[in-house]
Amino acid sequence: MAQKKPDKKSAAKKAAPAKKTAGAGKPAGKASSKKARSGKPVPKNTATKKTASGKAAAAKASLPKTTVPKAAPVTGAIKTTTKKRPPSRVFGNEGRKYEEYIEPMLASLEDHPFDNDEWIFEMKWDGYRAIAEWKKKKLKLYSRNGLSFVQKYPPVAEAITKIKHDCVLDGEIVVLNEDGRPRFQMLQEYEQDPRYPIHYYVFDLLFLNGKDVRELPLLSRKELLKKLLSSCKGDVIRYSDHVIGSGKKFFHHVKKLDFEGMMAKKSDSEYYSGIRTREWLKIKHHNNQEAVIAGFTAPRRSRKYFGALILGEFKGRRLQYIGHTGTGFTHDKLKELWDLMQPLMTAQSPFAEKIKVNAPVSWIRPELVCEVKFTEQTNEGILRHPVFLGLREDKAATAVTKNNDR
């Protein structure tokens, strides 16, 4: 059975958090025509072959309301290895990117928290989105664009292989600092510095024992997921819990913990692979976003390699300037970026308009993506005080578009 995509107008209407109308937000019947955002019929999920038809049976009892999860304290440095894993039957002999992979469901941006009993609220983790396919004792673990994480994060890969049932999971890989808070920069440096705990926070279940469960309501999928993970030993894989209805109170706790933000999801939402809908929303506490690296300026004083990165985002096919950042770099990160940019250097600016900066710029082809945090954004779209957080290997440059969250 091919999975259907939601109708853009009906999805936006039923997802509006401000209204609490009876029966709002329920999926249309199977006889109705659900369309993708483009208006075209939904293609089949070609990345995974379904081995059984029909829906998996879900437990009838509803999940109890849960308390707000707290950040786990760091109990000590973990012992792991950063050596590359040799090919094996379990982990496969895949290259850096899988030829076939499942694209995750995407969330839209919402400006303000809200209360609604038809919605659940989860932590927004500051890490790498990751899909795990554990089938017939073989593992695929990858980013939203199919890049393998098996070699990059061995403790996560090892933990998934201990799950007793075949499954496909959706979650976020994070590294926690001394205060138990996820930090993206520490995840970037994990291969070189694996002292801090790494976890895979799993928040959705796509397949179970060969059955496609993506058409089940979200709460039913999460109930199956919680039961599946309850037998997992160790602390690497964690179930990402939620609260029901109380979005404002939850967001207040998110800010108190200084987390990145929270996710709001329709409790009866189906899972639409590769589609951004208004049935899943992200509400940010920190001003973070991805940016395309378009060039760099020369270093000043004692700094080596480069001074600042020139940043942009795509508006249609045109790259639009959004600012530059010269902070947030370690010496090793300066050298790493310098080495990555050298093969991409070009004499021509990737911007259509002339960019005003305080120093001459060396241009590169717009292929590298980074994440930055900033204080605010001007009406012209320029980021104020952007700080470099790390490279986003899981994002394609063409996917960094203006208002791509909405």
pLDDT tens column, 139-196: 999 999 999 999 999 999 999 999 999 999 999 999 999 888 888 888 988 988 888 9
As a three-state string, the secondary structure of the chain is CCCCCCCHHHHHHHHCCCCCCCCCCCCCCCCCCCCCCCCCCCCCCCCCCCCECCCCCCCCCCCCCCCCCCCCCCCCCCCCCCCCCCCECCCECCCCECCCCCCCCEEEECCCCCCEEEEEEEEECCCEEEEEEEECCEEEEECCCCEECCCCCHHHHHHHCCCCCCEEEEEEEEEECCCCCECHHHHHCCCCCCCCCEEEEEEEEEEECCEECCCCCHHHHHHHHHHHHCCCCCCCEEECCCEEECHHHHHHHHHHHCCCEEEEEECCCCCCCCCEEEEEEEEECCCEEEEEEEEEECCCCCCCCCCCEEEEEEECCEEEEEEEECCCCCHHHHHHHHHHHHHHEECCCCECCCCCCCCCEEEECCCCEEEEECCEECCCCCEECCEEEEECCCCCHHHCECCCCC
pLDDT tens column, 54-111: 333 343 333 333 333 333 333 333 333 333 444 444 554 445 889 999 999 999 999 8
* Predicted TM-score of the model (pTM): 0.68
pLDDT tens column, 345-378: 999 999 988 888 878 899 999 999 999 989 888 8
CB 214 within 8 A of CB 270: yes
* CATH class assigned to 288-399: mainly beta
Tell which wins on pLDDT, 295 or 24: 295
Query: Could you state, in order of their start, the residue ranges of all structural domains in the chain?
Result: 106-284, 288-399
Residue 356: its pLDDT value, please? 82
Q: How confident is the model at residue 404 (pLDDT cuts 50, 70, 90)?
A: low
Residue 231: its pLDDT value, please? 87
Residue 310: its pLDDT value, please? 96
Look at residue 296 and tell me whether its pLDDT is greater than 90.
yes
The mean pLDDT value for 256-266 works out to 92
Residue 405: its pLDDT value, please? 52
pLDDT tens column, 17-40: 443 333 333 333 333 333 333 333
pLDDT cut 70: percent of the chain above it: 75
Look at residue 287 and tell me whether its pLDDT is greater than 90.
no
Catalytic member of 14, 124, 222, 395: 124
**Would you state the CATH architecture of domain 106-284?**
2-Layer Sandwich (3.30)
Residue 394: its pLDDT value, please? 85
Q: How confident is the model at residue 325 (pLDDT cuts 50, 70, 90)?
A: very high
65 is catalytic: no
Residue 302: its pLDDT value, please? 85
- Please name the amino acid found at residue 45: N
| Region of residue 394 (phi > 0: left; psi between -120 and 50: alpha; otherwise: beta) | alpha
Q: How confident is the model at residue 234 (pLDDT cuts 50, 70, 90)?
A: confident
pLDDT tens column, 195-219: 899 999 999 999 999 999 999 999 9
The mean pLDDT value for 298-317 works out to 91
Tell which wins on pLDDT, 94 or 386: 386
Residue 358: its pLDDT value, please? 79
Residue 7: its pLDDT value, please? 54
Residue 18: its pLDDT value, please? 43
Residue 97: its pLDDT value, please? 87
